[in-house]
Amino acid sequence: MAGGKSGDPEPKGVKRKLEEPSITQEGNNFSSDNDENETDIPITNTKVRCKFCNKTKTEKVYIPSDAEPECIVLTNEILANIYTDNDDIVQHNLTNYSIYDENGHMCSIDSGVMERNVMIYMTGYVKPIYDNNPGVEDGIPAMALGPILEWWLSSYDGGTQALIGINTEYADYLLIEPHPKYKKYMTSVTEKIHLSREVIKNILSSEDDDPTYEDILNCVINSINPATGNKFTEEDLISHAQFVLNQVLEYDLNDTYHLPLAETQCIETLTQLSGAAKPVKGLSRRTGQRSQYVKADINKREFSKATTTELVKDVFENMFAAQLDIDDKENEGNVNKLVKNVFDDVCNTKIKKDITDVHVNVNQVLWRDQVLSEKMFIVVKNNVSTIPLIGRIEYFFKTKFKNKAHIQLFMHSYETVLGETADPQEIFALKNCTNIDIKNVVKIIDVVQKIPSKNWFKLGNSKLQDLLEPVNRQNKNSFFYQLQYDDEFGRFEYPKFLEPNTVIREGHCSNCEDFALEQKSKEPELHEFIEEEKNISYFYKFKLFDEEYKVGSFVYLQPEIFKTASRSNMIGEEPFEHIETNKNVSNQEQKVIDETKYPEYYRKSLENTMRGSNETTPDPFEIAEILAIYFVNWDRKNIKLIVRRMYRAEQIPLKDYAKNSDMNMLFWSEEEFRVTYQNIRGKCYVSFISNIQDPLLWSSSGPDRFYFTKKYDFMFGSIISEYELPSEAKLTGKEVYVNYKYQYVDEDKLQYIPSYKKIKPLRGLDIFAGCGGLSRGLEDSGLVISNWAIECDDLAAGAFKLNNPESTVFVEDCNHLLKLAMSGEKTNSKNQNIPQKGEVDFICGGPPCQGFSGMNRFNSGQYSLFKNSLIVSFLSYIDFYRPKYFVMENVRNFASFKRSMVLKLTLRCITRMGYQCTFGILQAGNFGVPQTRRRLIIMAAAPGEILPLYPEPIHVFNRRSSSLTIQVGDKKFKTNCKYEESAPMRTVTVYDAWSDLPEIPNGANEEDIIYKSKPITHLQKLFRYPDNRYAESILSDHICKDMSPLVQARMELIPVGEGSDWRDLPNTKVKLPDGSYTNKLLYTHHDIKNGYGPNGELRGVCQCASGEKCDPQDRQIDTIIPWCLPHTGNRHNNWAGLYGRLAWSGFCSTTITNPEPMGKQGRVLHPEQHRVVSVRECARSQGFKDSFIFHGPIINKHRQIGNAVPPPMGTAIGHEIIKAIDKKPRYICSPFL
């Protein structure tokens, strides 16, 4: 039947009963669509649910009076003449449409009816595919189009409108415009489509290849919901998560750019929060054309190719050619097989020899008709392993008529941390040596020592053919070595070079000498005998681990030693009670609460310890002054000490006394204890307050510095003022020599309090600089001046420039800049001077790590490969400039990514350049920030320099966050740090960092305000020193995100107290600022895991709690207790910490780039105020001083902080590198040729 012509009025409809689909319930009739006499939609409200639409409140569908069934409509000549090929898909447009069930009740296509196999149909006006006019003119009235088989999102039209396609048995229909009365049924669909569009678009356009949930949420809540005209909320995103997830999976299946969006952490987190089921990847019937709007953006993006030197390219070529696709099924035994194959080849190599011409001289031994000489390399049978030993003969000797040799051991490169990435013809010297029987020698091998060239610093970017090969690659019996390897710490260093013409005595072994010196340093060595009294011999000093301890020296002792040590000067001993005011003692004991009002509180009983708590944080070292050094009955090895106990502020049993005291402030006492030298953990330096001018400046000018002002009287539990201190106490820190009787002696024996070493700062280049956290810390140590920085994010680069106005900041792709430098260009397009070879002494940087991060699991796709390849770019900068030192930082999981292959290749590349290097994990919390943040740090030193050690922890930190070992294969590596169980100072808390900041409301946006108070704590003095010490000083960036009214209502209902989170929320209705009310959460199902409440209350909010499949109709919105959290809490640790308050006495989780109450970071609410943490609070949790400036909108400032390395960690690293520079002898025997 032909449709109406253009300009004709719409045909009037009359009510009629249709034959198809049939009416089956209560005789409900379909209603006609009459524009002239249209009245309100008839609504039937019964207690009986319709068995089709599953509703008790139903609305009848309106159908055009002259509508025809689908089979007739499709034969209309307007539609039938479009298709000439039987294989063409029949596709039309449908406008003024409605969708209904077999009872004639209007229903939504996303209401779950199709999932229940309910047949639903369409009515409306069918138009040819080329007619996109939403009006009914020229449309063919249709009814009973269907039943609908499926519906899909066809494409985006380049704007905000998404096209929905529906498939029936006979045709496909693109929905144009709903019937006015049906529009409300499309509200949810419209929201879902636009949310999906926003999520996909923002993932693809994100600066990070793996955006966080918080990043995407920030974009979503700032976009407009077209169905309501209001901004989207987090509730919208979570309630429609299943649909969004389905669209993301569909996008992945049809995207040619190979970006698996479903594997990004934002989608992973959304899946966990919402409880949505991840569909199994498989092609749907309709692939459809994907979003032209999004794809247009993708096509504009150009992926940078890594600029590499030939040496770096040669190392990484195979790795990145395969897109990091290392076979994870390969077992670790392959390395042993590789080593075995090498030695099988060696042993099978035949060497020509002339046995008639053999002469054995002094210091030689005959073996199998061959002569073994000193300094010759051999392969020896290994009695404890199938892998033979490699050794260099140091000397020969005989025992019981057997010829033996003492050899220095070497290790094949495959056996080191380099593993399968190593050079098969490289070996490494070890610090170990052993004796062997000559008969166990298996083979003589040719080994040469590779010594760096004199022009090593100029060899960057050399052609491979210009780099001298150390061995003949065709000779499998030929090896080389250049570095010494420490298998415990994973350190590669140059072995000691002997001075020319050095006379080596017979039977000499440098390894044996070093080992003997090391063992000797472990035994105390007494010096300067004073007197003997009653079989007790007193001495003035002793030496232990190369450190000298004297009478009057202050020492670190093992924690809590005074609980067990015997007193020396008190007869009536009182039991000592250790006060632990720095501990966050849990106050989460189950209280008697009304579970009707607080239905989720019971989940707290399922949690042992609050994250961010200091309950398991160890105590710092005890501090004491040595009063006497002695041994009894001539037992010189059992050295004992009499020490004076010094109290820390946190050990004074006065409530909150330590909170506002300096962390390095002590209290003098008259308590004396007897301890042994084994209790000593290190040396420290203490001064009386009057002997120093500025305690803060003095304390920060050198390591391990403490001061005291008063005395603590243990017997009376009182603090005594400095005026009552004895004169001997006031001498402390005057640098005078005193014996155990406090008698003055010669001035030439002053006690020395060391300061941090100072050097001429190195010229530094910071790559991937961000806002400059790492380089700022290194500058604070005095190691470098950041002359240059490279950062492609213009806002982060702006922050770097604001804080380093003298630096040249390149806001461009690092690969492009390196290409210019390698081609000899002096300036870039902005006329900025490019650093030249020989100008850069130091390089630091952290190649973007989203592909490796524990929080960021995305590791594939073209853009991710580009990011990963920035490791190659960074190492190419190193090879080109050849700095004296460099530091590379990355996330902890860098060490384990791709079965540690990236770490191995990085170290392989560094050692091939000729650098000494080491790797390890540091915890930022150990260096004075109230945050757990573990980072992998790779340090390297050029030939001729000394490889630095890792800094010792300064502050104790939570044990659960202090696992700093690195597992590579079956081997665990650790750093050189000896402070493993404790540290010199107590942990830093949130109170230490934030308690002086003024109160601000949710959404505070005033960038400059006044402090309103002086600094309260030691840390705050450091943050505000020297310019912001006053209450009237200006505080910048104390601003916070503006949360939605519903989120704000929840935050206000979270109790103020440690451990509070969403489980403390009441189940109640609340009036929001816009006048609307929240809903009360309904518990509708039995929770088979958690049972019933104390009064038989249900605890499930979805039928999945009873073990069934999730029902979308169980979802609830706008509730104070977010429906999604109890819905999925059973399988996600009860979502502990979401909407959680930080504890004043605790610490922050790893600062991420966007604080959200339901984000993965968890606790982001202020301890007392009803808001999320501010920019300045996040900056302080990272250790940034208040004078540090951030740049851009608030979200960018959070990102700059979250991506930064805590400056205090950089400072500690800088001090260690300075120590290494200072240790370098002025006239060192050069390792160069």
Cβ atoms of residues 1216 and 1063 within 8 Å: no
Specify whether the backbone of 872 is left (phi greater than 0), alpha (psi in -120 to 50) or beta: alpha
Spell out where 698-790 has E strands. 705-713, 718-720, 762-767, 784-790
| 544-to-622, 637, 953, 1139 alpha-carbon distances in Å | 18, 12, 20, 51
| 1042 Cβ contact list (under 8 Å, min separation 6) | 1002, 1003, 1005
Most distant CA atoms of the chain, gap in Å: 126
Cβ atoms of residues 626 and 555 within 8 Å: yes
Read off the tokens for 177. 């415009």
Give the Cα separation of 785 and 766 in Å (integer).
10
Amino acid at the residue 667? F
Read off the tokens for 657. 């006394």
Cβ–Cβ contacts within 10 Å for residue 493, how many? 18
Amino acid at the residue 482? Q
Angle between helices 292-300 and 187-205 (to 10 degrees): 10
Whether omega for the bond prior to residue 930 falls within 30 degrees of 0, making it cis, is no
Give the Cα separation of 995 and 448 in Å (integer).
62
Cβ atoms of residues 232 and 238 within 8 Å: no
Spell out where 229-281 has E strands. none
Question: Helix/strand/coil (H, E, C) string of 812-851?
Answer: CCHHHHHHHHHCCCCECCCCCECCCCCCCCEEEECCCCCC
Give the Cα separation of 765 and 305 in Å (integer).
21
| 938-to-123, 213, 459, 840, 867 alpha-carbon distances in Å | 67, 30, 22, 18, 19
Cβ atoms of residues 830 and 320 within 8 Å: no
| 385 Cβ contact list (under 8 Å, min separation 6) | none
Cβ–Cβ contacts within 10 Å for residue 1159, how many? 21
H-helix or E-strand spanning residue 296: helix 292-300
Read off the tokens for 145. 């189009």
Contacts 24+ apart (CB under 8 A), 378-385: 378/407, 378/441, 378/442, 378/443, 378/444, 378/445, 379/343, 379/346, 379/347, 379/441, 379/442, 379/443, 379/444, 379/445, 380/407, 380/436, 380/440, 380/441, 380/442, 381/440, 381/441, 381/442
- The helix/strand count (H/E) of the chain reads as 26, 43
Distance of CA 715 to the CA centre of its chain: 48
Give the Cα separation of 902 and 893 in Å (integer).
10
- Our answer to whether residue 909 is catalytic in this structure is no
Residue tagged active-site, from 849, 917, 1104, 1124: 849
Backbone φ and ψ for 938, nearest 5 degrees, come out as -105, 125
| 948-to-911, 1207, 1220 alpha-carbon distances in Å | 16, 18, 5
Residue 1177, helix vs strand vs coil: helix
Cβ atoms of residues 155 and 254 within 8 Å: no
Cα angle 255, 261, 267 (rounded to 5 degrees) comes to 150
DSSP, residue by residue, 475-504:
-TTEEEE--EEETTTTEEEPPPPPPTTPPP
First CA to last CA distance, the chain: 97
Nearest of 1186, 870, 827 to residue 998 by alpha carbon:
1186
Residues designated catalytic: 849
